[in-house]
Amino acid sequence: MTPQNFGRAIRRTEDDRLVTGRGSFTDDAGSTGLSLTMIRSPYANARILSIDVSEALEVEGVQAVLTYSDLPGRLVEPLPLLIPHPSLVAPRTQYILANEHVRYVGQAIVAIFATDRYVGEDAAERVIIEYEPGEAVVGIDAALGPHLVHEDVPGNVAADHSEHVGDVDTALANASHVLELELNMERSMGSSLEGRASHATWDRHSRKLRIQNATQTPTSVRFAVANILEIPDEQVEVFAIDVGGGFGTKVIHPWPEDILTAWGAIEYDCPVKFTEDRVEHFISSSHERAQRHQIKVGFDEEGRILGLDVDFIHDNGAYTPYGMIAPLITATQLPGPYKLPNYRVRFRSVYTNTVQVTPYRGAARPHAVFSMERTIDRIAAFLEIDRAEVRRRNFIQPDEFPYDLGMIFQDGRPAIYDSGNYPELLEKVLSMIEWDDFPERRSQATPGRRRGIGVACYVEGTGLGPYEGGHVRVETGGKVQVSTGLASSGQGHHTVFAQIVADELGVPFEDVEVVTGDTRRFQYAVGTFASRAAVTSGNAVAEAARLVKEKAISIAADALEANPDDLEIVDAQVQVKGTTARGIPLAQVAVLANPLRYSFSEAARAATQFAGAGDLDEPPVKPGEDPGLEATGWYSPVRATFASGAHAVEVEVDAATSEVEILRYCVVHDCGRLINPMIVEGQIHGGVAQGIAGALYEKMAYDEDGNLQNASFMDFLMPYCTEIPEVEIDHLETLSPLNPLGIKGAGEAGVIPVSAAIAAAVEDAEGFQINHMPLFPSELHEMRAIGVDEPN
Amino acid sequence: MNAEESYEIRLKVNGRTQHVTAPARRLLSDALRGELGLTGTHVGCEHGVCGCCTVLVDGAPVRSCLTFAVAVQDKDIRTVEGLAAGDGELHPVQEAFKECHGLQCGFCTPGFLMTACALIEQNNDPTEQEITEAIAGNLCRCTGYQNIRAAVRRAAEITRSDKR
């Protein structure tokens, strides 16, 4: 195969629709039927004493007002625990509507079905709820205190998990030096500009429940809805046409509103829509990523790490629908690109009366990298060795792959790095940012400002299983239709999967049309998360295209009376290798692939029963064959493939305002073979922007009663273009040996090391330790006064 | 509680006058999306901060989520659906956003396109500072803005070359 499309910065096929207002987001689906409005708890911890809905029912346009006691069948059960784990000793998931108790501000209590959202909100004002408030558990300190979030979960501990390799105690005892660190990271959240949304219609004639849902995982939404409503899977169709950003939040499912809209569509026999507003996104979807890390590191005189002992607390909010995946990722990704012969990690995941915590882009890897990189910088400072040099001395070397960490990764499989070149990543990024010349630049800082430089490296497990599938079908008109089950939320899947299929099959890119995330087209899938879509669905559609090619060549060989081995497909024509003179268009092969009784076109006559084709002693469709020029391919990786990268940043801190200005931001990124460099770089730009947001701007500001004080874009400081610098990018392409395309995931990478790199740069500028993120100017100002990072 | 009073509102959108019957509190964003089916205008925050819902009213960018439909009767409203020419030829800002990969999920994009359109149609040779100021009121969670800035720059360039 000579790649014509793979590796090229081809413009996206998605864009024509999206720039002309013809996108199809969930809220764009019809405006007839009913709108779902939720009433949410104003208390972080309270018993519900009574709910009076009578006045709300009087509002014209209100169809129904439901509380927990009105829910039928399996709707009374807690929502599913998506990912169980043996260490998750006390998982808790929320009810669709609160059952006697609310445990965070924002928890759904009442569901109102009304003709539109305006009417629904009028009705909501007329519902009277009596509460008996209790003590709110907010923040990690409170979680370790006497008050309980769930009465039956002692110590608020949802999960207690430990893993180790080697003998950490002996390593620390024998180390020349031992340092201890305490690091804190705050909460932020996905904040996709499209909130959660679901639109359900019930076709009572065909008995189909059709759900357009803003989800990263339509197939799983389908199974969950069918299961809870106790109807056959076959009656439920779920599709995500355009999703306005996911970032992990939209992998969580089913949301209470997903079930209520679906149930309501059947019950009231009309379309039902729920569209989350911005306040709801803040207080009733998911957050990430508050963690507190205690680290003990032992090292030798050269800065080589001999033992690393990490104990951290993860604040999981009020519920654990996604299990303990986020802290498990921190634990297993913490070693990064470094050799840790003796590593022990323990975490406790604890309940608080706050919004649930589930993975957000990067998925607790930023915490892991912050821990490891801050530790290395501390070793360098202690030994007075260049920070880059300490990294070099601890790297896993290019000839040491596959490298087994000795731990179990988030896919339940061994964490074994498949390939990489960490020393080269670092050298490249140091050269980009001109690391060695920095002392000179430091002295050239703007008067009144302090200049600093930082670097951070990471390894990211991507492209994990269990599997994805792809279907490729050549139409008799020549179009190639491709589908895969996972959904898209801006990653350019329609473009990159078409690039892959066009090359594998030998057709023009323009002839390939891709559909993602539609259970009507592809029923089995896992979903878009963990930087896995390109790796898993990419390899699956490639496999499907190869199978179609094989079939096309076999059919064409019969028609051309040629040896299949002598045939190739070039520009949608099956031909004898090296000649266009003896060939047959792929569209015509598609006709021949489907033996016909009834012709539908001039071309189709060739496949009809009196056309004289085929061996009359054989059935028209031979045993073991299927009609149609189509195939399904699967890709199920044995384990994750590990991408990597290094970031370097130069900053200036204003002496008067303590504002941090980023002067240069450099990224070297290795995600194996690049399918479309333009799209990969776009993913990195966006990731870095979210990383900067988490490092310098964003925090979920809870008060002690559990009210989220900044639940609006007025107060939550999501960066505008004024806060985000240009990002300079270079690539390495270390192929993955685990998949035929040699690719690794790229979606989350940009965000992962940003906090670590910026902390290092600010520390370098200021000369005192930076131990927490995000870092606000007001805090920096205070820290300057006392010369140390002592977060409150 | 009885249904509230409705008004017959004349909305001139993308050069075409249409009549909408809606209560006084109906937001322009909801009237465009619901009553007129122009779902290209998106709603991201409903408090005027994200800019997804930006439309042009008499040529100036306006937050349609902070505007009542009754308040813009007879004004000249332009939405993302009205950017391309009648023959389907894309507006320079649309062409430039495609070319520069200035969009990912596409949800904030209509707001950026309308904001950039207002800038470019007034000033087809903006400085970097003018570009930043023009788009500094719109949020994007996907792109990190780098390619959006490039797209606005490119749109200005296309506009200038079209005029030659």
Phi, psi angle pair for A68, to nearest 5°: -55, -40
For B130, name the nearest residue in chain A, comparing CA atoms only. A722
For B24, name the nearest residue in chain A, comparing CA atoms only. A118
Residues of chain B found within 8 Å of residue A126, distances taken between Cβ atoms: 1
Of residues A243, A687, A750, nearest to B105 (C-beta): A243
Lay out the sheet containing A128-133: strands in order across.
A101-102, A46-52, A128-133
CATH 3.90.1170.50 domain span(s) along chain A: 31-134+196-275
Pick the CATH number of A31-134+196-275 from 3.30.470.30, 3.90.1170.50, 3.10.50.40, 3.30.460.80: 3.90.1170.50
B50 touches chain A (CB under 8 A): yes
For A683, name the nearest residue in chain B, comparing CA atoms only. B143
Closest CA to A531 of A459, A605, A449, A424: A459
Is B87 domain-assigned? no
Closest CA to A105 of A67, A85, A134, A81: A134
CA-CA distance, A233 to A208, in Å (whole number)?
10
Question: What's A465-635's CATH class?
Answer: alpha beta
Read off the pLDDT of residues A105-159 as tens digits, 9 standing for 90 and up. Answer: 999 999 999 999 999 999 999 999 999 999 999 999 999 999 999 999 999 999 9
* Angular region, B41: left φ>0, alpha ψ -120 to 50, beta rest: beta
Q: Is the pLDDT of residue A739 over 50?
A: yes
Of residues A126, A193, A712, nearest to B139 (C-beta): A193
Using DSSP, state whether A368 is helix, strand or coil.
Answer: helix
Residue where a domain terminates, one of B62, B82, B102 = B82
Residue-level pLDDT at A16: 97
Residue where a domain terminates, one of B46, B64, B82 = B82
Q: Read off the pLDDT of each residue in B12-19 and give the average, rounded to a whole number.
A: 96
Q: Is the pLDDT of residue B142 over 80?
A: yes
A492 touches chain B (CB under 8 A): yes
CA-CA distance, A271 to A201, in Å (whole number)?
4
**Amino acid occupying residue A146:** P
A192 touches chain B (CB under 8 A): yes
Of residues A15, A20, A190, nearest to B84 (C-beta): A20
**Amino acid occupying residue A716:** F
**Read out DSSP for A388-437?**
HHHHHHHBPPGGG-SEEEEEE-TTSSEEEE----HHHHHHHHHHHHTGGG
CA-CA distance, A389 to A395, in Å (whole number)?
10
Q: Which helix (H) or strand (E) holds A672?
A: none
Q: Is the pLDDT of residue B3 over 70?
A: no
Read off the pLDDT of residues A245-289 as tens digits, 9 standing for 90 and up. Answer: 999 999 999 999 999 999 999 999 999 999 999 999 999 999 998
Place A787 in a pLDDT band, splitting at 50, 70 and 90: confident
Q: Which residues, at least 6 apart from A512, have a Cβ–Cβ distance to it below 8 Å?
A: A479, A480, A482, A497, A498, A501, A502
Of residues A21, A116, A688, nearest to B110 (C-beta): A21
Asked whether residue B10 falls in the same domain as residue B62, the answer is yes
**A245 to B43: CB separation less than 8 angstroms, yes or no:** no
Q: Is the pLDDT of residue B20 over 80?
A: yes
CATH 3.30.365.10 domain span(s) along chain A: 291-464+638-786, 465-635
Is B18 domain-assigned? yes
Q: How many independent structural domains does chain B possess? A: 2
Q: Is A538 in contact with A680 (CB distance < 8 Å)?
A: no
Residue-level pLDDT at A719: 98
Residue-level pLDDT at A733: 97
Residue-level pLDDT at A792: 42
Read off the pLDDT of residues A288-309 as tens digits, 9 standing for 90 and up. Answer: 989 999 999 999 999 999 999 9
Residue where a domain terminates, one of B64, B82, B100 = B82
Place A71 in a pLDDT band, splitting at 50, 70 and 90: very high
**B49 to A689: CB separation less than 8 angstroms, yes or no:** no
CATH number at residue B75: 3.10.20.30
Q: Is A334 in contact with A291 (CB distance < 8 Å)?
A: no
Place B2 in a pLDDT band, splitting at 50, 70 and 90: low
A245 touches chain B (CB under 8 A): yes
CA-CA distance, B79 to B72, in Å (whole number)?
14
**A278 to B141: CB separation less than 8 angstroms, yes or no:** no
Q: Read off the pLDDT of each residue in A46-61 and give the average, rounded to a whole number.
A: 98
CA-CA distance, A154 to A584, in Å (whole number)?
72
Residues of chain A found within 8 Å of residue B145, distances taken between Cβ atoms: 685, 689, 720-721, 724
Lowest mean pLDDT among A481-495, A576-590, A636-650, B57-71: A576-590
Q: Is A681 in contact with A744 (CB distance < 8 Å)?
A: no
Q: Read off the pLDDT of each residue in A337-356 and give the average, rounded to a whole number.
A: 98
Asked whether residue B72 falls in the same domain as residue B107, the answer is no
Q: Is A190 in contact with A248 (CB distance < 8 Å)?
A: yes
Residue-level pLDDT at A579: 84
Q: Which helix (H) or strand (E) holds A72?
A: none
Helical pair B109-122 and B92-99, crossing angle rounded to 10 deg: 120
Distance from CA of A19 to the nearest CA of B (A): 6
CA-CA distance, B163 to B120, in Å (whole number)?
12
Q: Please give the model's pTM, rounded to 2 decimal places.
A: 0.97
Read off the pLDDT of residues A589-606 as tens digits, 9 standing for 90 and up. Answer: 999 999 999 999 998 998
Residue-level pLDDT at A613: 65
Range of the domain at B18: 6-82
Asked whether residue B50 falls in the same domain as residue B103, the answer is no
**Amino acid occupying residue A244:** G
Asked whether residue B35 falls in the same domain as residue B59, the answer is yes
B66 touches chain A (CB under 8 A): no
CA A12 to chain CA mean position, Å: 21
3-state secondary structure A239-254: ECCECCCCCCHHHCCC
Q: Which helix (H) or strand (E) holds B56?
A: strand B54-57
Q: What ipTM, to 2 d.p.?
A: 0.98
Place B162 in a pLDDT band, splitting at 50, 70 and 90: confident
B46 touches chain A (CB under 8 A): yes
Instruction: Give the other-Cβ count within 10 Å of B21's Cβ.
Output: 11
Q: Is the pLDDT of residue A612 over 80?
A: no
Asked whether residue B73 falls in the same domain as residue B104, the answer is no
CATH number at residue B106: 1.10.150.120
Distance from CA of B19 to the nearest CA of A (A): 17
The answer as to CATH 1.20.1250.20 being correct for domain A291-464+638-786 is no
Place A786 in a pLDDT band, splitting at 50, 70 and 90: confident
Residue-level pLDDT at A31: 81
**Residue A581 structure tokens:** 């003179």
3-state secondary structure A722-765: CCCCCEEEEEECCCCCCCCCCECCCCCHHHCCHHHHHHHHHHHH
Lowest mean pLDDT among A173-177, A351-355, A409-413, A547-551: A409-413
CA-CA distance, A660 to A494, in Å (whole number)?
39
What stretches of A5-121 adopt beta strand conformation (E)? 34-40, 46-52, 62-66, 101-102, 108-114
**B97 to A247: CB separation less than 8 angstroms, yes or no:** no
For A725, name the nearest residue in chain B, comparing CA atoms only. B146
**B141 to A12: CB separation less than 8 angstroms, yes or no:** no
Read off the pLDDT of residues A541-568 as tens digits, 9 standing for 90 and up. Answer: 999 999 999 999 999 999 999 999 999 9
